[in-house]
Structure 1
Amino acid sequence: MTDAIDREILRLLQKDGRMSATALAAEVGLTVAPCHRRIKELERRGVLTGYRAVVDPAAVGLGFQALVFVTLRDRAHMLAFEEEVGRSGQIVAADRLFGNPDFLLKVVAADLQAYQQFYDEVLVELPGVEKLTSTIVMKTLKEEGALPL
């Protein structure tokens, strides 16, 4: 069970994943050892699934983004499709949807030409694809945010 202290630890780590155990312990009112044990237990239980750096795509030459709606021909290809999507580095987010379309993919590329090449060489070749519909991201208003804990 996740109690109020665990939720506060999670809230703080979402804001700053590099926060030291010492600073975290001070913020939540624990000593370092129990705070560290709680972090390890949250990791062990799969509540805390990882730590990552947030990189500005444009700063690394990936300033073009497209949202791609995918409809599959049938369910027989679903697992193979999901595995291939998971292997693609340019697909940075993917959601399976209820209804139609079946999936929403977020794709990054250097520019429109690079996206068109990825579309032609990778997206249309994904298992079971019947229909792809792309829309270009004009401006990102909000990145994936922290959970409201």
Structure 2
Amino acid sequence: MTNIPRIELDIGYHDSRLPQDEQRFTQAARWIADRGGWQRLFASIAIVDDATMQQLNSQRLGHDWPTDVISFVLDGQPGAVEGEVIASAETAERTSARVGTTAGDELLLYVVHGLLHVAGLDDITPEQALAMRRAEQECLRHLGVPSAAEHLHRWHEIEE
């Protein structure tokens, strides 16, 4: 019998330009926890606008510009992972028009990316970045995102 990971998400919508998507965020978190062998995944997810993202990015990382997503790993217990994901709905809306996906699917990609970081993946080296892109693609495919097969774009190629 397979243990089903326990998922707890605290999702805050601080930008209302896109529909709320708790179901897909939860499905993504469950897939990520299962893939990583985690018994529990706890995450706070905040959906914000670019002005808020720039402020948080500046305060927390020293980068004075808006970005698509930032994430932070918090202390977890054995078998558990805990973290925070902040994603920009405004950036998702703008980027989706350029890359040919829906804004909701683009925002889902940002949340998946942040949750993968929380679960221990990184994307600093080219090898890590490729592994991250593949995990994103697998998760999006699992969730039935139509553009998942094309979602291996590099983050720096879509930034303005």
TM-score (norm 1): 0.24
Higher RCO, Cα 8 Å, sep 6+: 1
Larger Rg over CA atoms: 1
TM-score (norm 2): 0.23
Question: Of Structure 1 and Structure 2, which has the larger fraction of its residues in helix?
Answer: 2
